[in-house]
Chains A and B, each alone.
Chain A
Amino acid sequence: MAVTMIEERKVVPYSGNMAAAEALRQINPDVVAAYPITPQTEMMHFFADFVANGLVDTEFITVESEHSALSAVVGAAAAGARAMTATAGPGLALMWEILGVASGMRLPAVIALVNRALSSPINIHGDHSDMMGARDQGWIILVSENAEEEYDNLIQAVKIAEDERVRLPVMVGMDGFIISHSIEGVSLLKDEEVREFVGKQRMFHPLLDVEHPTTHGAIAMSDSYMEFKRQQREAMMNAYKVIREVGEEFAALRGKKYEHIEAYKTEDAEYILIVMGSAAGTAKYVVDRMRERGEKVGIIKIRTFRPFPYYDLADAIVASNAKAIGVMDRAETFGGYSGPLFEEVCTALYTRNKFYPIAGLIYGLGGRDCNINHIEEAFDVVKKKAAGEEVPPVTYLNLQV
């Protein structure tokens, strides 16, 4: 039985990595397999401490690559364990093959992901290219705005992944260094609260159940492969509901409800930015400042990237007074019209027969600064678009020209 450390709720000065490690400690998974990679390494250092000090019952497997880390997690999850791992950037890329294995086998694994740029050139900083590259591998993707959200999302992720209607793995992203290494106030839940919330995991047909032998990871030829993929689509649609339910349940603990999106001051907003990750926090601050000057601005933060909340997003936009929208992407889609988030937003609106002028904004690649001035710059582009001025398909924010 894991030791109880946090008996009272408290606010602590934690980095995203510390908060994530603390979440893992409280979840107390059966198996954690990990390989160090910047900026995630620190998280697993903290967690390894917990293991060494006997604060968790976790079997901690140090592997020789991320491919092995996720493979170990897949094996453990199939055996019936609650299994987790953590990674970043190229580490997630090296897991790529196993990402599909985990989701195809419908195993409830969780990855604490520290979003990092992909090479080349080598870059270790915050960027969503890793997550976007993994976008179509059948994982539920939650994105955190700050350390506390990473902590909260990880706790919810366990419950979402293990729901009978879902049975899909979840990755929870936070921006490398910006969140993973910055110290902020994080309100921790009590150990007991987290334990109760995540509960005992129920594995479906665990390999170790020798009374009921099963084969996991079987072959499916062209006569049934497509049917299994259709099942995965169904699971994602179920996840849309389950994420909402778990978010509502979590509200009882946190006093703050987690939804697919967060519409911030959008009701009467004429100019809206759609943001994901740490930039959402900055953007909210900018919105407050601009509102003081009487400008009707708002932002929509995307928390669930997969399954993508098309309805929630379109509803929020339709309910506003939007004249134009800007979509901020921290990843490139080379040769695409704009970034990956941009395309989702367009789809959400088009399928509802709604047309708004939309500007694509790419920012913060490889950890490039995205401060209040850049968000204001982004709103300027949206205003131009609203005024019918010519705006290029993609505006790179804070680019040296």
Chain B
Amino acid sequence: MKGWRDLEIGALITEPGNSAEYKTGEWRAWRPVFNRENCIDCMICWVFCPDSSIIVKDKKVVGIDYDHCKGCGICAHECPKSKGDDESKKALVMKPEYLFREED
């Protein structure tokens, strides 16, 4: 964190696109877990994610940007492969964050 003397006067942002540095992922209480095997690359999650946190490479979903994903669950809700009760068939599953944090 910067001290008060180092911050830009008036909370000005002088560097375009630097919001990427703001790790909104720290706010997350639920984490989307991606299962590549079940994914059909329809890109619905990519379209819906409000934080642009679905990582796509060569037209394929490859993972989630956990630095910025706030865990809203929209991706899992919208994913056509994540309907129904059978977890093993879902492409995106929301799990509580504490399962992944070592300190917990």
- Chain A interface (Cβ within 8 Å of chain B)? 104-107, 167, 204-205, 212-220, 223-224, 226-228, 230-231, 234
Cβ-defined partner of A105 (8 Å) among B3, B7, B11, B14: B11
A-B contact pairs, 5 of them (CB 8 A): A104-B10, A217-B11, A224-B7, A227-B3, A228-B4
Cβ-defined partner of A223 (8 Å) among B1, B10, B11, B12: B1
B57 within 8 A of A: no
Q: How far is the CB of A141 from chain B (nearest CB, A)?
A: 19
Contact check, A214 vs B10: say whether CB atoms are below 8 A apart. no
Given known contacts A212-B14, A231-B9, what 12 new A-B pairs fall within 8 Å (CB)?
A105-B10, A105-B11, A106-B10, A204-B9, A213-B16, A217-B11, A218-B13, A219-B11, A227-B3, A228-B11, A230-B4, A234-B4
Q: What is the CA–CA distance of A218 and B2 in the complex, to the nearest angstrom?
A: 16
Q: What is the CA–CA distance of A231 and B7 in the complex, to the nearest angstrom?
A: 9
Contact check, B2 vs A224: say whether CB atoms are below 8 A apart. yes
Q: Which of chain A's residues have a CB closer than 8 A to the CB of B10?
A: 104-107, 167, 216, 228, 231
Residue of B nearest to A107 (CB): B10
Q: What is the CA–CA distance of A205 and B2 in the complex, to the nearest angstrom?
A: 20
Q: What is the CA–CA distance of A401 and B2 in the complex, to the nearest angstrom?
A: 59
Q: Which of chain A's residues have a CB closer than 8 A to the CB of B3?
A: 227
Contact check, B4 vs A214: say whether CB atoms are below 8 A apart. no
Q: Which of chain B's residues have a CB closer than 8 A to the CB of A104?
A: 10-11
Q: What is the CA–CA distance of A220 and B7 in the complex, to the nearest angstrom?
A: 11
Interface residues of B in 3-42 (CB under 8 A from A): 3-4, 7, 9-14, 16
Residue of A nearest to B9 (CB): A106
Contact check, A227 vs B4: say whether CB atoms are below 8 A apart. yes
Q: In the complex, which of the residues B4, B7, B14, B16 has the most CB atoms of chain A within 10 Å of its own CB atom? A: B4
Contact check, A215 vs B4: say whether CB atoms are below 8 A apart. no
Q: Which of chain A's residues have a CB closer than 8 A to the CB of B1?
A: 223-224
Contact check, A220 vs B11: say whether CB atoms are below 8 A apart. yes
Q: What is the CA–CA distance of A228 and B10 in the complex, to the nearest angstrom?
A: 7
Q: How far is the CB of A366 from chain B (nearest CB, A)?
A: 37
Contact check, B9 vs A215: say whether CB atoms are below 8 A apart. no
Q: Which of chain B's residues have a CB closer than 8 A to the CB of A167?
A: 9-10
Q: What is the CA–CA distance of A167 and B10 in the complex, to the nearest angstrom?
A: 9
Q: How far is the CB of B2 from chain A (nearest CB, A)?
A: 7
User: Known: A227-B4, A230-B4. Is A218-B9 also a contact (CB below 8 A)?
Assistant: no
Contact check, A231 vs B12: say whether CB atoms are below 8 A apart. no
Residue of A nearest to B6 (CB): A227
Return the 3 tightest CB-CB contacts between A and B, nearest first: A106-B10, A227-B4, A215-B13
Q: Which of chain B's residues have a CB closer than 8 A to the CB of A212?
A: 14
Q: Which of chain A's residues have a CB closer than 8 A to the CB of B7?
A: 224, 227-228, 231
Q: Which of chain B's residues have a CB closer than 8 A to the CB of A234?
A: 4
Q: Which of chain A's residues have a CB closer than 8 A to the CB of B16?
A: 213
Q: Which of chain A's residues have a CB closer than 8 A to the CB of B14?
A: 205, 212, 214
Residue of B nearest to A225 (CB): B11
Q: Which of chain B's residues have a CB closer than 8 A to the CB of A216?
A: 10, 12
Q: Which of chain A's residues have a CB closer than 8 A to the CB of B4?
A: 226-228, 230-231, 234
Q: How far is the CB of A174 from chain B (nearest CB, A)?
A: 28
Residue of B nearest to A227 (CB): B4
Q: How far is the CB of B73 from chain A (nearest CB, A)?
A: 23
Residue of A nearest to B18 (CB): A215
Q: What is the CA–CA distance of A203 and B9 in the complex, to the nearest angstrom?
A: 13
Q: What is the CA–CA distance of A205 and B15 in the complex, to the nearest angstrom?
A: 11
